[in-house]
Amino acid sequence: MLRRFLLPTLGAAWLAAACSSTPGPATPCEGVGCAGDDAGTQVDGASSDADGAGDASSPACPPGPAVADAGTGAPHPIYPDPVYADVGAIAARVKTACVDTGALPTHATLDALVPSLLAEAGVAPAGAGACACDWTLRFVPAAPALYGDAQKAWTAVSPGAERYVVASASQAGRATTTLYAAEERGGLYALRAALSLAQKDAADPTARDVPLATIVDGPAVAWRGVVEGMYGGRVSEFGTQYTPGERALLLRLAARLRLNTYVYGPKNDPYAGWIGGKWRAPYPDTGAGAAQSIATAAHEAHANLLRFVWAISPGAQFDWGNYAGDLANIEKKYDSMRALGVEHFALFLDDQSIPASIAQQAQLMNDLDAYVKKGDPSDHLLVVWWDYVGGPDSSTRALGPLVHPDVEIMWTGPCVESCTIDAGDMSPVDSSFERKASLWDNWPTSTGCCNGAAAAPKMTGRSADLASAITGYYANPVVNECGPECGSSLRVSDFTAHMGPIADWSWDPARYDGGVDASYARWAQLLAAWKPLVQKCGVASCSGKGPVYPGWTCDPSKTGVFFCDAYESDCVTDLPCPGGCTVEPPGVPDLCH
């Protein structure tokens, strides 16, 4: 349940949580050591030292600007809405911040994002000096003590890597925020949430006001995202549905929306599936399905802590008479994808008649799942089978017990493009597969849904209880499914207009069902505000007047390559080139090595 009310005594209650590296009863911060005894790490030029140097709570630091009459914090701007949010009075006026991520098990990717996150929040990284931090944001190794409704929310949210806590307090006009998440992606969610609460100060536009706040949050659905699984292709030079720039735009929006997965599986990529028939071959450096298109998407996903899943679709071309040989071919292809930065994999066997027994197909799934686990024992294979729609049958009941239990199997619901889906539709499917299936949702669509009914214009018809019956939710934007005849009229905005509500539903379906229109209204405002930030058009222009022109262009140092999108997204994405970048003649894409 979302809660917003003022907590005039929150600062005292949370002071100990902010100043202690271990959870426990609240006690006032006193003395030099109240910052905690964790080892500390250097982030953005600030250090969480054992003696509390540089910490906002250090008694040696002068007080910050008085904010007693600053009023209350505005309603939180976090979207999707957190499960629990209490935002109180303005507690501190800040210009600098330091972030300590040392308590997270891994944090290198998050550390790389911190400077841009601080800049977007309007605060500068703290410089050297014991009192340089107006605002200290510190991760702790265990969740801080929570009370009342906050504790109830923490208990209600499913435990997992993405559950997080934010607790902001103040002392002598300086802000201290305690953050907890079990893993790095949840840490990104926590830090974004905390920084988003900072508001521009009315009296000093160079300062930000930080309110007292407690946020408890976590998703209802474990895996949430997009499956690029459409047929048709608009841009022949890429051979896929989206350009690299459009895909980068979707990845960056997904990360801000707390979606965590992007599945790459366009049916017309000749180097990934049966339509082109080149799925055994590695991606070439140029031409359709260029390797750097995949490498760029994988790089964007990794940089934003998203799971980028690359799918192979051998269809009926898999040689079941030479099983070992073609299994080795797929494993080699997976290895070549790892060299491009891909870390997660899928097997698509949909929309083809597979000339093999169910036991043979299960063996292929299991062997590939085992191969994926050689790269990462905690990972798993994602699968869509040829039997993916309607209700359970003898085939699903035969496959389920034969497949490794952690293989993720996708299903489209009652129809290929379902009008409505609820737990009652999915539970029998789950039972037959002997696991919670994931939903491949062919929506948004412009072609109608079950029995010729008109498709809903908004993200509706997915029940609140559906989350309890699925492992993952993946929206396939069939609204963008189109052949080459569409040309530049295909608009990625036909999908991005729904991305926010899709993320909002998959984060907290019960709350979303009561506020569909409000979710769309908030998303329209945020999308307009976020789009300039995710396009990176301040780095280079797609107009053809700047240093980057539509297509692939080496950067001036030839240590990276830009892709400038000539289509609607107007998005610039870049890829590091450790081996340098080769400038090709006009009309030929520059090559990243």
Whether residue 8 has a cis bond before it, omega within 30° of 0: no
Query: Do the beta carbons of residue 561 and residue 583 sit within 8 Å?
Result: no
Is residue 478 over pLDDT 70? Answer: yes
Distance of CA 292 to the CA centre of its chain: 21
pLDDT at 428 over 60: yes
The CA radius of gyration of the chain, in Å to the nearest whole number, is 25
DSSP codes, 219-236: -SSSEEEEEE-----SBT
62-71, 243-252, 385-394: the lowest-pLDDT one: 62-71
Nearest CA-CA partner of 237 in 296, 301, 284: 284
Angle at CA 530, nearest 5°, toward 526 and 535?
150
Q: How many CB atoms lie within 10 A of CB 528?
A: 9
State which fold the 10-217 domain adopts.
Chitobiase; domain 2 (3.30.379)
Tokens of 132: 């340089």
- Please report the pLDDT score of residue 20 as a whole number: 30
What per-residue confidence (pLDDT) applies to 45?
Answer: 24
Residue 76: what pLDDT?
79
Biggest distance spanned by C-alpha atoms of the chain: 78
For residue 131, is pLDDT > 50? yes
Q: What is the rounded distance in angstroms from the CA atom of residue 504 to the CA atom of residue 499?
A: 9
Q: Would you state the pLDDT for residue 6?
A: 25
Per-residue pLDDT, 437: 98
Least confident piece of the model among 69-78, 184-193, 428-437, 528-537: 69-78
How many whole angstroms separate alpha carbon 521 and alpha carbon 497? 10
What are the two backbone dihedrals, phi and then psi, of residue 189, each rounded to the nearest 5 degrees? -60, -45
Q: Return d(Cα 274, Cα 268) in angstroms, integer.
A: 8
* Phi, psi values for residue 372, rounded to 5°: -60, -40
In angstroms, the CA 139 to CA 180 distance is 5
Amino acid identity of residue 298, one-letter, is A
Helix crossing, 358-375 with 323-339: angle to 10°? 30
Rounded mean pLDDT of 388-392? 94
Average pLDDT score over residue span 192-211: 94
Of 128-132, 334-338, 436-440, the poorest mean pLDDT is in 128-132
- Per the listing, tokens 């005292």 go with 12
Using 50, 70 and 90 to split pLDDT, how confident is the model at 542?
A: low
Amino acid letter at 370?
A
Q: Flag whether pLDDT at 107 surpasses 60.
A: yes
**Contact (Cβ atoms closer than 8 angstroms) between residue 11 and residue 212:** yes
Q: Please report the pLDDT score of residue 287 as a whole number.
A: 58
Q: Does 80 sit behind a cis peptide bond, omega within 30 degrees of 0 on the bond before it?
A: yes
Instruction: Break the chain into its structural domains and give their ranges.
Output: 10-217, 223-507, 551-592
Q: Work out the angle at residue 253's Cα, subtended by the Cα atoms of residues 249 and 258, and round it to the nearest 5 degrees.
A: 150
Identify the CA nearest to 245 among candidates 573, 530, 465. Answer: 573
223-507 — its CATH code? 3.20.20.80
Digit-coded pLDDT (tens) for 481-528: 765 555 545 688 889 999 999 999 999 999 998 899 999 999 999 999
The answer to whether 79 and 106 have CB atoms below 8 angstroms apart is: no
Amino acid at position 280, single letter: R
- List b or e across 484-513, with b for residues whose CB sees 16 or more CB atoms inside 10 angstroms: eeeeeebbbeebbbbbbbbbbbbbbbebbe
pLDDT at 307 over 50: yes
Residue 243 has pLDDT above 60, yes or no: yes
**Where do runs of H (alpha helix) occur along 289-357?**
291-303, 323-339
